[in-house]
Amino acid sequence: MSIEVPFIILILAIPTYFLCKWILKKLNVGNEKNRKFVALIPTIFLSPIIYVGLIYLWIFSISYYPSNDFDAQEWKTNIAERYKMSEDIIESEMLIGKTKQEITELLGQDFYSYSENHIAYELGFVPGLFNIDPDVLDIYFENGKVTKVEQHET
């Protein structure tokens, strides 16, 4: 553990201590003299919990992205943010049962062809903590019809 973590927890402990002391005063716990010491106990426990909570909040905030309904025009013009529509495409199963021609009419010609039964569309970079590779929308065919649609990081 580096020196920064205890220092940050100490910084968080100062306002936490005064908040605990104020709450104890409002609840009329103890007298002014012993309230200073009683406020230390919740401060010792709450400061690391607040620190971990702030870390989780930060991770959540940088990995959140909105999920939009599929819009064919937006899909074709904004390649970098296709990931916002991928959840709707997968969950609605809107591509299941369609032919490759129907797929290209709907999603465009800018796909990667891995085989005759597997194509993929670039979705852009999904926001995330260590996300350095773009995601793709994999579309699998059997007997000329879509059977499975998945998303993964390249």
User: In this predicted model, what pLDDT tens digit does every residue of 91-104 receive, in sequence order?
Assistant: 999 999 999 999 99
What are the pLDDT digits (tens) for 9-41?
A: 888 889 999 999 999 999 988 788 888 888 888
Q: What residues have CB less than 8 Å from 20, skipping those under 6 apart?
A: 39, 42, 43, 46
Sorted by where each begins, the domain ranges of the chain are 4-63, 72-153
pTM (2 decimals)? 0.66
Q: How much is the mean pLDDT over the chain?
A: 89
**pLDDT over 70 (residue 3):** no
- Residue 103: what pLDDT? 95
Residue 121 binned pLDDT confidence (cut-offs 50, 70, 90)? very high
CATH match of 72-153 with 3.40.1620: no
Q: What is the residue whose two structure tokens read 């049962």? A: 97
pLDDT of residue 76: 92
Task: Decide which of 2 and 118 is more confident.
Answer: 118
Tokens standing for residue 61: 């905030």
43 in Cβ contact with 35 (< 8 Å): no
Compute φ and ψ for 108, nearest 5 degrees.
105, 175
pLDDT digits (tens, 9 = 90+) for 42-98: 999 999 999 999 988 888 877 777 888 999 999 999 999 999 999 999 999 999 999
